Each structure stands twice: as C-alpha cells, then as structure tokens.
Amino acid sequence: MGSRLIYLVLIIFSLFLLVTGAALSSFSEIIEGLRTIITSESTLITDYFAIAGPGAALINSAIVTLISIALLYFSREPARGSTLMTIGCMAGFSLFGKNFVNIWPIIIGNWLYALCHREHFLKHTQVALLSTALSPLVGFMALREGASAEHLLMALFAGLAIGFVMPPLANYTYRIHNGMNIYNTGFAAGLLAMILVPIVTAFGAAPESAYYWSTEYHNQTLIYLLVLLLVLLVMPFLLDRRVLSSYRKLVLSRGHLPNDYLEKFGAPAVMLNTALCGGIGLAYILITGGVLNGATLGSLFVIMGCSAFGKNPRNIIPIMAGVMVGGYLNTWPINAPAPLIAGLLCTTLAPITDYFGTVVGMFAGFLHSSVVLYAGSPLAGLNLYNNGFSADLVATVLYPVLTRFLKHHRAKFETRDFLETSK
C-alpha cells in the first residue's frame, strides 16, 4: 500500500469515529459536550466520556485525528510505522486530555523552532503532534480562575515555549534509554513538566490532578470497538492471502526504537498486528474487571497505533503480565483507573522484551506497575504521557544494569534522532 492509500485508510478511521460519535449522542448533546471539552483544563484523568458524553468525545477525537492527518500529509510526511503510531496517540489521547483547541500553541511552537533553524517542518511534524502531551498545561494556564485575556496570552506563550524546546529535548531523551521506550516523547514531556510545574506553582497557580471516570458507556463502546477490530482482522486476508507468512516474520522479529513494521513487513501484516494487539488490550480490560470509557478506549488506540512501530503480541504480553502481577500484590485494585491504564500503556516497554527476553519483560512490567502510580505525582496531571515518563525511568535504570551483568548484551548508545528511519 502506498502512502496515499494509507492516508486514505486513516481518514476512513477518522470518519468511523465521527459516525460513531454521531450515533451515540444527539446533535445538541454533541455541541454542548464539545463546548465542555474545550473549556476543560483536561489534566489527568479527565475522561471526556464522563464530562461530555461519548458522542462529543469521539467527535473531538475525530477532529484532532483529521487535523493530525492533514498536518502530516501536507508537510509531505511519507506514511511510515511512526506515522501510524503518531495518529494512534493523537486519536487515543483526544479521548482524555487533548482537544482541537489546546493542541495548537504547542504545534505552532514546533513550527517556529523549524522556522528559526531553517528546517522543513516535515522533520518535526510528528514530534510537534506528540509534544501535545503537555496540552493540559495550555488548558490550565488559559482556564484557571476563569478565562481572561491575560490568562489566554500566558497559555499561548507557554504552549509556544513548550513546542519550541520539545524537538531537541525529545531527541536527547531518546539517546538516554537507547530505544527501550516507545513513548519517548512522554519522558521528554515529563522532564519539562518537572521544571514547569514548580515554576507555575511558585507564581501562585497550583495545578491539580483530576478524576473524571465514566462507567456507564461500556456496552455501547464495546460493540463499536468489536466492529473496528473485526474489520482490521478480516481486511489483511482480503489484501494479501500470504499475510500469515509476513505476520510470522513480524512477530518473531526483534528490535528497538525506531522499529518500523510498516516498512519491514507491509500494511496487511501491520493491520493484522493492530487487530490482535487491540484485542489483547481489550482482553486485559475484561479479565481485570475494568470498563471501556474514554481513557481506556484511548489507551487501546495508542496500543493499536504503536502496533506499526514495535509492539506485537509476543513482546507486550510479558509486560502486561508483569503489571498484572504487580497490581495483585500492591495496595491498589488492579481495575482502578490508574492501574488499569498502566496495564495497557505499559506496553511502551515492549522493546525490553525484544532485547532482553520474556522474564526481563515481566520484571520491567512489575516495576512499572508501582513506579507509574507515584512518578506522575509531581507533574500534577499535566503530562498526558505519564506512562511514557514512568517507563523511561524504568528503562533508563534497567538498560545499563542489565547490559553490564548479561554478558551477551552490550550497551549501545544511540546516535540517531528520534523517529529516524531504521534504514
């Protein structure tokens, strides 16, 4: 499949979200819900299903996804595995934190960085979109104590500043963990938030984490999700009768970031991988007694997007199993909101399974189950990629230690930029 055809598939996915949203809520509910979404600070955990209803949440996700597709396409970004990963993250987190308003200052800040360095925006488009992990900071600065012209200007400046510094920061943090964490931008955003939150607090504005979590839309969401997964499961066999051969190679392959499955194994194999990884994530939710809502559905979209860029059933199941073990041993219920999301997004550590094996992968997941519950506290819910931040802490500690004691592994320090092609 060529780039244009893949972009067409992504547009169809966006339209699926749009139609589903329209089917789940009335027009007036959607309009009111969208107004609620864009006037929400959107700190973690703000489930848009809970505050605005499923219709408005899904349509917000569709709009953000279409904006992301347009930016990537018109910046002449070729369709790669990282492209699908980026779209998955944008679609997913637009169900619990990003909206079609709070993402723009950060994106424009990235564009200004490219302009100042006389570089094509193509080089930074994906990082620009992923940098919107800190969009809740924009919302907080704009909406605290009621929106005002002063607050809006401060929010605009903060967003521009975040976008301007994220490209070099993301490239640097990638070298720290040596490709062991797929959500690399989460670590970069977390480090920046560690600086920004104390500064903001020192000037009298104290951001706080949120807790909006819906439970009443599980059945409706499950039906539409199963339809999506079924389509993704059937289509590869219609496109390529030998897809199982390609998919076997995908599952048995090993690598770390960047790991472009689309480039290596083709679109049908990636589509099949997306369906299976999404199904595994759904099974985790059901087995642990969790519910489908904006936050969990969004997390599944992230998993599915990253299934083109390093995740597969063989390398994510050990990580999820480790989180599940940790969840049963610690004091937090495994189906509580934060542990449930952690059980899904812990799959960012999939490269550790690839690099060090199943046992180490389970151990990494076990560590992540505890670290993620506390690492994000100083960030006050302003970094949507909290699991990416926590996972990088785990990966940064594990990688040098394991390469020192496991003699058949040697530490390799990355010299490539984040999202650079593996060719």
For residue 65, tell me if it sits in a domain.
yes
Domain assignment present for 366 = no
The closest of 381, 384, 376, 344 to 132, measured between CA atoms, is: 384
User: Measured between alpha carbons, how far is 414 from 239 in angstroms, rounded to an integer?
Assistant: 36
Secondary structure (3-state) at 46: strand
Q: Does 352 fall in a domain?
A: no
What's the pTM value of the predicted model, to 2 decimals? 0.95
- pLDDT tens for residues 75-96? 988 999 999 999 999 999 999 9
- pLDDT tens string, the chain, 423 residues long: the values are 678 889 999 999 999 999 999 999 999 999 999 999 999 999 999 999 999 999 999 999 999 999 999 999 999 889 999 999 999 999 999 999 999 999 999 999 999 999 999 999 888 999 999 999 999 999 999 998 777 889 999 999 999 999 999 999 998 888 788 889 999 899 999 999 999 999 999 988 888 899 999 999 999 999 999 999 999 999 999 999 999 999 999 999 987 778 899 999 999 999 999 999 999 999 999 999 999 999 999 999 999 999 999 999 999 999 999 999 998 888 889 999 999 999 999 999 999 999 899 999 999 999 999 999 998 888 999 999 999 999 999 999 998 888 888 755 554 555 555 555 433
7 lies in some domain: yes
Domain-located, residue 345: no
Give the C-alpha separation, 395 to 399, whole Å.
Answer: 6
Q: Please check whether residue 19 lies inside any domain of the structure.
A: yes
In a domain, 265, yes or no: no
Instruction: Count structural domains, the chain.
Output: 1
3-state secondary structure 140-161: HHHHCCCCCHHHHHHHHHHHHH
Domain residue limits at 68: 3-202
404 in any annotated domain: no
